[in-house]
Amino acid sequence: MVRRIGLGMTGVVGLGALVFIVLDWLQTFSGPVGTTAAVYHEQMLFLGAWIDVLLGTRSFQFAFTLRGIAVGALIGILGPLLGAFLVHRQMALIGETLAHTAFVGVAVGVMLAGVTGLAGTSDQLVVTALIVSALAALGLQWLTARTDSYGDVPIAIVLTGSFAVGTLLISWGRDRFPVTVDIEEFLFGDLAIVTAGGTRLVAVLSILVVGLVAINYKQLLFVTFDEQAAAVSRLPVRWYTALLIVLTAVVVVGAMQILGVILVAGLLVIPVAAASQFARSFREVLAFSVILGQLSVLIGVCVAIVAGLPSGGSVIVVAILFHLAAIGLTRLRS
């Protein structure tokens, strides 16, 4: 019962985030569509103003704040959704690795902006990070399948190597090319870099990720818990593993805007670890981790806005508190 109510509320919040992002986009149109969307968009801002009245703040009435919350609501679902598969496949470090490759993507975006003579905007850097991270995910899958080293060795190489390359590119290019975005914001996360274009990208990617996971759920479940049996059944194990890794790269880039490169992996792992304390099946782990993930992001983002703190650190601390609470409740029940 609790799981169903929690999933229902999580779905409603996620749908509300999608509706806000669509209205935020449509209200820029001219004609009846833009006018109608602007009316409903203004009502959502009015709701944010009431939240400001209740909390004594002056932040939630602005569109850019609601954009950050909307992205957080979606990322809070996507991170644990994929994290549940990664954790049970003992691939928790994949998220951290892909976050570092996304940082390389940001660096590449800076370089491209300098070569073309354009100032690298947040949206441009997110797109390049998405492309580089997806390619790196496929490269990591290729390297893992063709190396004789232990399974986590290629991951460690890509993790450290990608961050090293990103650091070198940023250090070399930041004084030579014009960049309108503070790179440190991508390291630690900042709601200020969440733009209207970024929210629309996350919305599209959210629908894509949830749709692909739903369509391939049984296959991903089979590969996760019995990879050898899946291979014997002639299931393309490498293809589904690559799909999972690429989808993780997509989610990491979206979450990077709020959580930052350094902390983004926590959203993939911590809610799943908390749900595993009391869940009795993988389906329950998946459900409760999504619920806890969205709660962690929403509470963390709101605390960051009210207290003027970094969003990434606030979200991860809230997630850890949920984890500790889950451990405590499990001990009390046993």
Instruction: Report pLDDT for 118.
Output: 58
SS3 assignment, position 136 = helix
User: Residue 52: which domain range?
Assistant: 2-333
Q: What are phi and psi of 195, to 5 degrees?
A: -105, 175
Write down the H helix ranges in 117-236: 122-145, 153-173, 183-188, 196-215, 217-225, 227-232
pLDDT digits (tens, 9 = 90+) for 111-144: 776 666 555 566 677 788 888 888 888 887 777 7
- For residue 142, which amino acid is it? W
Least confident span in 11-20, 21-30, 77-86, 130-139: 130-139
CB 252 within 8 A of CB 308: no
pLDDT digits (tens, 9 = 90+) for 196-239: 888 888 899 899 999 999 999 999 999 888 888 888 888 888 88
CB 244 within 8 A of CB 98: no
CATH code, domain with 323: 1.10.3470.10
Global pTM exceeds 0.85:
yes
Whether 194 shows a pLDDT value over 90: the answer reads: no
Question: Mean of the pLDDT values across residues 255-259?
Answer: 84
- Count the domains in the chain: 1
Instruction: Report pLDDT for 114.
Output: 66
DSSP bridge pairs for 27: none
Greater pLDDT, 307 or 293: 293
